[in-house]
Amino acid sequence: MFIGLIGAPNKGKSTLFSAITTLDVEIAEHPFTTIKPNIGNTYFIKKCPDTELNLKCKPKNSLCINGSRRIPIKIVDVAGLVPDASSGKGMGNQFLNNLSGADALILVVDISGETDEFGNPSKNHDPFLDIKFIQNELITWLSDILASHVSSLSKLQDGASALKSILSSFKATDSQIKKAANEANLSLSYIAWSDVSIKKFSEYFIKLNKPLVVVANKLDKSSTEKLEELSSKLKDIKVIGCSAAIELALRKAMNSGAISYTFGESSFSINTTDKEKVKALQYIKKYLEKNNDTGVQKTINYVVETLLDQIVVYPVENENKFTDHFGNVLPDAILIKKGSTAIDLAAKIHTELAEKMIYAVDARTKNRVSKEYILKDNDIIKIVSAAR
């Protein structure tokens, strides 16, 4: 799973990336701080079953801290996007090409309105304008790719397969291609679409292939009224108020031992007596009291659970002890799409396991379930297979 972090320059993307990955990246109050993409891991966090089962888990592919399972997710902060980026302006196509494999996008805007679409200082800039131009650049980028293939596509009866090959870097699915064409009322046989039709297909495909959430960053410099105003303009896109700067300050204070803090929580305890640090931390406490959280962890969880429709399943070999072959309790937390079956889980673990699967066991109830059993969030499942 791969999440792309996008936005116009100087909106706080690098600060947000640093906060959610705790990596040191260059952060500055000027456009194009990020030239090459920053790549790191963040965490999707949810309650681990070990507390419910009164066990102590021993994770292998994730972490478990105070009963919270932290599942790593790849995230990439790419160079800032400016108007006409699809034509090569700013970091242009370099930015866009870094996004092709993303499963979802986090679009960062400056809700305070203190920076314009080019990342320069401004007063009362409307972040809605940034969102619209970025959406248009994504559509234009894809349209240009497709337009370059129309001549060859017009000779093929099976245009869907050809499009899937052309859009392989996007991880395009048959369903996405067919649904986008259907929404645009376009045929997939002997494709000879006009520029208008290509743009229409691209608009629908991008929505399906690159679902996004808008992060209204720098909320500590703005107001809830501006947040509500932006939300009202984006009826079909979720807007989450956020202060990446405050989250980064919290994580740095936590790492230094100055506070005790759990990602996504609405409070923390102060462990330092340093007057200057206490003063700054009291300011942060007031922000959290007003806004409940920084919005950072809420964003990651929203992307995974809602945009990408993922649930967590724990495969085990011993359904009585909830362990793997080596005795590790709840060793792996697997993210899998809602609606997936037990055999889908087996295939995610190993191809041969799925090919020779016989049945599965619900470890909680000890009941045998079929290969077509629909997985539930937080299921603990044993796969029984003839595979060695």
For residues 156 and 162, is the Cβ–Cβ distance under 8 A? Answer: yes
Q: What is the pLDDT of residue 24?
A: 44
Across all residues in the chain, what is the average pLDDT?
91
Work out whether the CA dihedral 128, 133, 137, 139 comes out positive or negative. positive
Q: Is 82 helix (H, G, I), strand (E, B) or coil?
A: coil
* DSSP letters for 43-54: EEEEE-HHHHHT
Assess if residue 9 is contained within a domain.
Answer: no
Task: Measure the CA–CA gap between 193 and 206, rounded to whole angstroms.
Answer: 17
Tokens of 54: 């009164």
For residues 225 and 117, is the Cβ–Cβ distance under 8 A? Answer: no
Assess if residue 217 is contained within a domain.
Answer: no
Q: What is the pLDDT of residue 84?
A: 66
Tokens of 255: 């790492």
CA distances from 377 to 5, 59, 323, 331, 346 (A): 27, 18, 18, 16, 16
Q: Confidence class of residue 30 from pLDDT cuts 50, 70 and 90?
A: very low
Q: What is the pLDDT of residue 119?
A: 86
Q: By CB neighbour count within 10 A (0-12 exposed, 13-18 middle, 19+ buried), where does 219 fall?
A: buried
Whether 237 shows a pLDDT value over 50: the answer reads yes
Residue-wise pLDDT for 69-106, tens only, equals 999 999 998 877 777 655 554 444 566 788 899 999 99
Tokens of 138: 């994504």
Assess if residue 156 is contained within a domain.
Answer: no
Q: Single out the residue of 168, 196, 180 nearest to residue 188, CA to CA.
A: 180
Q: Single out the residue of 388, 380, 383, 378 nearest to residue 329, CA to CA.
A: 380
Assess if residue 321 is contained within a domain.
Answer: yes
Q: What is the pLDDT of residue 287?
A: 96
Task: Measure the CA–CA gap between 95 and 93, rounded to whole angstroms.
Answer: 5
Assess if residue 344 is contained within a domain.
Answer: yes
Task: Measure the CA–CA gap between 46 and 61, rounded to whole angstroms.
Answer: 15
Tokens of 356: 């020779």
Residue-wise pLDDT for 241-287, tens only, equals 999 999 999 999 999 999 999 988 999 999 999 999 999 999 999 99
Residue-wise pLDDT for 93-142, tens only, equals 566 788 899 999 999 999 999 999 888 999 899 999 999 999 999 999 99
Q: What is the pLDDT of residue 95?
A: 64
Average pLDDT over residues 217-233: 95
Assess if residue 235 is contained within a domain.
Answer: no
Domain with residue 380: its CATH number is 3.10.20.30
Percent of the chain with pLDDT over 90: 83
Percent of the chain with pLDDT over 70: 93
CA distances from 261 to 60, 264, 270, 292 (A): 24, 9, 9, 14
For residues 95 and 200, is the Cβ–Cβ distance under 8 A? Answer: no
Task: Measure the CA–CA gap between 145 and 302, rounded to whole angstroms.
Answer: 30
For residues 166 and 159, is the Cβ–Cβ distance under 8 A? Answer: no
The DSSP letter of residue 358 is E
Q: Single out the residue of 350, 359, 366, 347 nearest to residue 385, CA to CA.
A: 359
| Strand-pair partners of 77 | 5, 38
Assess if residue 244 is contained within a domain.
Answer: no
Residue-wise pLDDT for 317-337, tens only, equals 999 999 999 999 999 999 999
Tokens of 274: 């340093």
Assess if residue 332 is contained within a domain.
Answer: yes
* Residue 381 domain boundaries: 310-385
Looking at the structure of the chain, the number of domains it has is 1
Residue-wise pLDDT for 339-373, tens only, equals 999 999 999 999 999 999 999 999 999 999 999 99
Task: Measure the CA–CA gap between 12 and 217, rounded to whole angstroms.
Answer: 7
